[in-house]
Structure 1
Amino acid sequence: MSTPLGDFIRAARDRIQPETLGLPPGDRRRVPGLRRSELATRAGISVEYLTRLEQGRDRHPSPGVVNAVADALSLDPAERDHLRYLMKITDGAACTGARVPAPPSRHVRAGARQTLELLEPAVAFVTNRWGDVLAWTSTFGLVMQDVGLLEPAEPNLTRFVFTDPRARTFFLDWDQVADERAFDLWLGPSLESTEWFIDQLTPLAGDELTRRLHRHLTPPTVPLGLRHPSGHELRWDRETMELPAADAQQIVVLLPADTDTELAVARLRHDARSRPLRAVTG
């Protein structure tokens, strides 16, 4: 049975162009990137051991082996962080045995809600790695009005992206957002909660989700583009504040990336009555 760690190594190996490492591309290659033998040689490990890693038959690689594989794959800092995280959850799953699936907590601490109040009238919300939208400022509610995201009793950005047809129109680059949402699922605080969410979502999202889950490649950091129902195209830079690890939550602030977005949001606020902060708790 494969593991997230093994999936990541295979995906990273497949994306490397051999010629960038001084290897002949050749017409006889049966894989799109590096062969296992080539990666094993670069990392200083055996092909047999690399095969066990990729197939999930070795769940306890040493930090030295992981660092050697990262060097051999020429991973950037964000990818190295993700590789180390996957090593942690893969090893943890092996140590603890079978886990009982459990949903993540939807409780938002009073301090997080107070922080949102201080951020008003910024466009900000509390979320977690699964995409639950747990609390938000009035301006976030205004921007998301009539979009569909906040319609459910328990809004979830990941579910909205993969299951609501309106999302493909709302996001200017839907594929980028879908890649981000799938990648973030692996960064949850516990493997059992992540597995619970994936099990719930996969039957609805299908291949669009599963093929991204096994890719494990870090999405680029780009502005978020939205096609607002008002007719405006809004572009945002995103700043994320991590809350204590026990909360497994974040405060995300959307900052206008251009003057047109800033003016459009000012017009939306001017035309709408003030909306109170709403928090969804479990």
Structure 2
Amino acid sequence: MGTPLGDFIRARRDSTQPEDLGLPDRGRRRSPGLRRSDLATRAGISVEYLTRIEQGRDRNPSVAVVNALADALCLTPAERAHLRYLTKITGGECLGARPAPPPRQVRPAVLRTLELMEPGIAMVTNRIGDVLARTGAFEALTRGTGLLDSDTPNLTRYVFTDPRARSFFADWDDVADEQAFDLWLGPSVDSHEWFTADLAPVAGPELTRRLNRHVVPRRGELRLNHPSGPALRLLRETLELTADAQQLVVFLPADEATARAVDSLRHPSYDGRLRVIS
């Protein structure tokens, strides 16, 4: 049985072409990407040891080996951070190991900060996608999309299970990769049970495939097709609330047309009140 660490290394090896690393093309290969022997040589380890890591038979590679594999695969800083994280959870801190569920309460100081952002577009969320608090402008932006229809709105569930999400997010594939990736960063007893019992059965292979690919998202410009008509382009600034395992996400119009469209969406019903899910 594989491990998150082994799956990630194998996925990155399969997606790396020899010519990208300056290696000669040796003709037809049984599988796409980089040969296991080429990666082992570049990392300074044996093919047998690399095979054990990829197949999950070695769950505790040393820091030196992990760094050597990162160097050999030319991983980006974000991919290196993910590799280190997967090494940690593969070595014993698996997806059910943390005793506390992700907190759903938003601290008063965070709520006050969110209030100061009115009438801007902002929300507080956690790694499994719960929308815990939002500004009135965020409500206006998502009105009619179905995202906030639930008493406990969850962005991950919405992306993978609501057909409206595929038209709302112009780059749905990228957003789906983001939500799947973030599930790796929020493991706990509660979130793992939610994933296995509630999300995975209804999300199906789209989610499972993206989880196993371990694609580190770029999180670029967010393009939305609002049900009322306008096409929106938004920039995102994410503030990590590390102590709370939450994030404060601010959405900024990327152009004047979006700013005008957001203004028209916001004013008809904006009442200046925060919405909090507890």
Bin of the TM-score, shorter chain as denominator length: over 0.9
Cα distance in 2 for residues equivalent to 1:63 and 1:19: 27
Question: Does the alignment pair 1:93 with 2:93?
Answer: yes
Cα distance in 2 for residues equivalent to 1:236 and 1:273: 19
Cα distance in 1 for residues equivalent to 2:77 and 2:188: 23
Counterpart pick for 2:132 among 118, 131, 134: 134
Cα 1:167–1:101 change in 2 (3 A) is farther
Deviation at 1:193, TM superposition (A): 4.3
Once the two structures are overlaid, the 10-residue window that deviates more, 134-143 or 25-34, is 25-34
> Secondary structure of 2:213's partner?
coil
Deviation at 1:24, TM superposition (A): 3.1
Deviation at 1:34, TM superposition (A): 0.9
Q: Which amino acid aligns with 2:265?
A: L
Deviation at 1:273, TM superposition (A): 4.1
Question: Does the alignment pair 1:14 with 2:14?
Answer: yes
Percent identical residues: 63
Report how many aligned residue pairs link the two structures: 277
Deviation at 1:100, TM superposition (A): 8.4
| Contact 1:93 1:191 survives alignment (8 Å) | no
Q: Which amino acid aligns with 1:33?
A: G
User: Which 4+ runs in 1 deviate beyond 3 A?
Assistant: 97-103, 190-194
Tell me what 1:207 maps to. Answer: 205
| Contact 2:152 2:277 survives alignment (8 Å) | yes
| Contact 1:101 1:196 survives alignment (8 Å) | no
Counterpart pick for 2:257 among 245, 254, 260: 260
Cα distance in 2 for residues equivalent to 1:197 and 1:53: 29
Cα 1:208–1:145 change in 2 (3 A) is same
> Secondary structure of 2:37's partner?
helix
Deviation at 1:52, TM superposition (A): 1.3
Tell me what 1:153 maps to. Answer: 151
Cα 1:218–1:49 change in 2 (3 A) is same
| Contact 1:147 1:170 survives alignment (8 Å) | yes
Cα distance in 2 for residues equivalent to 1:98 and 1:81: 21
Structure 1 segment 99-118 matched on structure 2, within 5 A: 99=97, 103-118=101-116
Deviation at 1:146, TM superposition (A): 1.4
- Give per-residue Cα distances to partners, 1:92-133, cap 9 Å, x unaligned: 336xx9748975331111111111101111100000111100
> Secondary structure of 1:116's partner?
helix
Once the two structures are overlaid, the 10-residue window that deviates more, 142-151 or 102-111, is 102-111
Cα distance in 1 for residues equivalent to 2:69 and 2:137: 45
| Contact 1:103 1:196 survives alignment (8 Å) | no
RMSD over aligned Cα atoms? 1.8
Question: Does the alignment pair 1:78 with 2:78?
Answer: yes
Tell me what 1:25 maps to. Answer: 25
Tell me what 1:183 maps to. Answer: 181
Cα distance in 2 for residues equivalent to 1:206 and 1:98: 21
Q: Which amino acid aligns with 2:208?
A: T
| Contact 1:8 1:83 survives alignment (8 Å) | yes
> Secondary structure of 2:82's partner?
helix
Cα distance in 2 for residues equivalent to 1:273 and 1:7: 46
Deviation at 1:187, TM superposition (A): 1.1
Deviation at 1:156, TM superposition (A): 0.3
Cα distance in 1 for residues equivalent to 2:191 and 2:57: 21
Cα 1:78–1:100 change in 2 (3 A) is closer
Cα 1:198–1:101 change in 2 (3 A) is farther
Tell me what 2:195 maps to. Answer: 198
Counterpart pick for 1:228 among 226, 245, 248: 226
| Contact 1:162 1:209 survives alignment (8 Å) | yes
Cα 1:98–1:256 change in 2 (3 A) is closer
Structure 2 spans left out of the alignment, 5+ residues: none
Cα distance in 1 for residues equivalent to 2:265 and 2:71: 49
Cα 1:191–1:103 change in 2 (3 A) is closer
